[in-house]
């Protein structure tokens, strides 16, 4: 009996002292495992004379149960301690305010793109992308842009060097608009399609209102029953949500693009009285985007049957709408990387675009 008493104390002391779950498991194996000491005591019972076996058996079983209970309690305690430690280490205070003195600023172009994604995301659009260096086919030919079109001239488009003596169409271009992503998307996926494409575009132009690199956002919707009414509804909603003016006047003016038919340019109402520009009031109009129903030839160029599907597309300059919304007077300042400018016109990191309040 006495020997069991000292064993009991020794096991309970070890269990109490175990520093972690691994150490505890080692103790369990040493006591109760197949070759464990307590298991050995149980095995040894069979060789005892019957009168001793009964009381000794009861004592060994009691010891086994006590060790099991102590192991269980220690396991709970160690697991809880491990969880407490993790909770203490991984604590994140989501209510902490942004550091006021933080220097980081979101560039107005990035902010504007985020706002557009939020607005179109709500309407069920996803974001698509394409390469900046584009094939002539995607930038021009597939979009039904004829060889004599001015965009194809050297003075408007950046051409990359082609192989010696190659045909002009074999040369790559810096994409002049985001419209080639219409073609890439229609080739890659079946309708229904509902995408916007924010991204960089390039034209050989440089003055106060033109930069050789600028940004556009393209939109494309293709399905069986899409008509001009969807185009109008979608773009009116876009203009009003972006400028955060519920009754912003929006006007559709007939226009021409080789890849849409019919085509329309979209104007928003403004006033220029007293030299200042005010959006949403007055009798003047300001052009902000191009749009139209996707030309049947463009659908056919992408393997989409124009007898079954139709849709609309639009393209808009991002700098232009950012300048209008945030009162930025000069296009060139977007790319001067002047920190004073960015501190003034940029956005704090947590100025999340939301549909309810516009940007702020
Ligand atoms: N790609 C045209 C441009 O750059 C804009 C546009 C896109 C017009 C889609 C109609 C449809 O001017």
DSSP 132: S
Of all protein residues, whose CA lies closest to atom 5 belonging to ligand 1? 315
Residue 140 beta carbon below 6 angstroms from any ligand 1 atom: no
Phi, psi of 61 (to 5 degrees): -65, -35
Ligand 1 pocket test: pick from 130, 156, 179, 201 the residue with the most ligand atoms within 8 Å of its Cβ: 179
Which residues on neighbouring strands pair with residue 291, listed in sequence order? 264, 314
DSSP secondary structure string for all residues of 152-182: GSTTTS-BPP-STT--GGGS-EE-SSSTHHH
Ligand 1 pocket test: pick from 140, 150, 255, 257 the residue with the most ligand atoms within 8 Å of its Cβ: 257
3-state DSSP of 255-309: EEECCEEEEEEEEEEEECHHHCCEECCCCEEEEEEEEEEECHHHHHHCCCCCCCC
For the stretch 260-304, pLDDT in tens is: 999 999 999 999 888 788 999 888 999 999 999 999 999 999 999
- The mean-pLDDT minimum among 60-64, 201-205, 354-358 falls in 354-358
Q: How confident is the model at residue 70 (pLDDT cuts 50, 70, 90)?
A: very high
Task: Kindly give the distance from the C-alpha atom of residue 258 to the centroid of ligand 1, in angstroms, as a whole number.
Answer: 9
Residue 359 beta carbon below 6 angstroms from any ligand 1 atom: no
Q: Which of 230, 250, 231 is nearest to 240 (CA)?
A: 250
Judge whether residue 28 has pLDDT over 60.
Answer: yes
Q: Where are the alpha helices (DSSP H) in the chain?
A: 2-17, 21-32, 37-44, 50-89, 108-122, 136-139, 180-188, 228-243, 296-301, 318-326, 339-345
CB-CB contact of 283 with 251 (8 Å): no
Selected residue with higher pLDDT from 350 and 77: 77
Per the omega criterion (within 30 degrees of 0), is the bond before 262 cis? yes
Residue 179 beta carbon below 6 angstroms from any ligand 1 atom: yes
Instruction: Please compute the mean of the pLDDT values over residues 297-318 and round it to a whole number.
Output: 97
Residue 260 beta carbon below 6 angstroms from any ligand 1 atom: yes
**Confidence (pLDDT) at 116:** 97
Residue 311 beta carbon below 6 angstroms from any ligand 1 atom: no
CB-CB contact of 248 with 268 (8 Å): yes
Q: How confident is the model at residue 358 (pLDDT cuts 50, 70, 90)?
A: very low
What crossing angle do the helices spanning 2-17 and 21-32 adopt, rounded to 10°? Answer: 160
Ligand 1 pocket test: pick from 221, 259, 289 the residue with the most ligand atoms within 8 Å of its Cβ: 259
């Amino acid at each position: 009996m006495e020997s069991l008493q000292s064993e009991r104390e020794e096991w309970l002391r070890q269990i109490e002292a175990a520093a972690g779950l691994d150490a505890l498991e080692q103790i369990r194996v040493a006591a109760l495992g197949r070759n464990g000491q307590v298991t050995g005591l149980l095995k040894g019972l069979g060789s005892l004379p019957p009168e001793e076996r009964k009381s000794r058996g009861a004592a060994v079983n009691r010891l086994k149960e006590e060790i099991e209970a102590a192991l269980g309690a220690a396991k709970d305690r160690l697991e809880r301690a491990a969880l407490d430690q993790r909770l203490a280490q991984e604590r994140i205070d989501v209510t902490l305010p942004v550091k006021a003195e933080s220097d980081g600023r979101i560039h107005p172009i990035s902010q504007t793109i985020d706002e557009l994604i939020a607005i179109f995301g709500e309407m069920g659009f996803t974001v698509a992308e394409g390469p900046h260096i584009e094939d002539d086919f995607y930038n021009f030919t597939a979009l039904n842009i004829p060889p004599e079109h001015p965009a194809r001239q050297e003075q408007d488009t950046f051409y990359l060097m082609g192989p010696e003596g190659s045909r002009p169409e074999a040369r790559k271009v810096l994409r002049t608009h985001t419209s080639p992503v219409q073609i890439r998307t229609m080739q890659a996926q079946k309708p229904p399609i509902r995408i916007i494409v924010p991204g960089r575009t390039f034209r050989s132009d440089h003055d106060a209102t033109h930069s050789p690199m600028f940004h556009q956002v393209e939109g494309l919707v293709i399905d069986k029953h899409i008509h001009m009414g969807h185009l109008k509804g979608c773009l009116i909603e876009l203009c009003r949500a972006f400028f955060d003016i519920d009754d912003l006047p929006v006007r559709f003016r007939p226009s021409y693009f080789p890849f849409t038919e019919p085509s329309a340019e979209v104007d928003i109402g403004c006033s220029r009285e007293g030299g200042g520009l005010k959006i949403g009031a007055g009798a003047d109009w300001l052009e902000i985007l191009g749009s139209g129903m996707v030309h049947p030839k463009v659908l056919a160029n992408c393997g989409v049957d124009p007898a079954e599907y139709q849709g609309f597309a639009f393209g808009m300059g991002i700098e232009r709408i950012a300048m209008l919304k945030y009162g930025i007077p000069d296009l060139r300042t977007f790319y001067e990387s002047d920190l004073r400018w960015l501190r003034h016109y940029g956005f704090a990191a947590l100025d999340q675009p939301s549909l309810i309040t516009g940007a702020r």
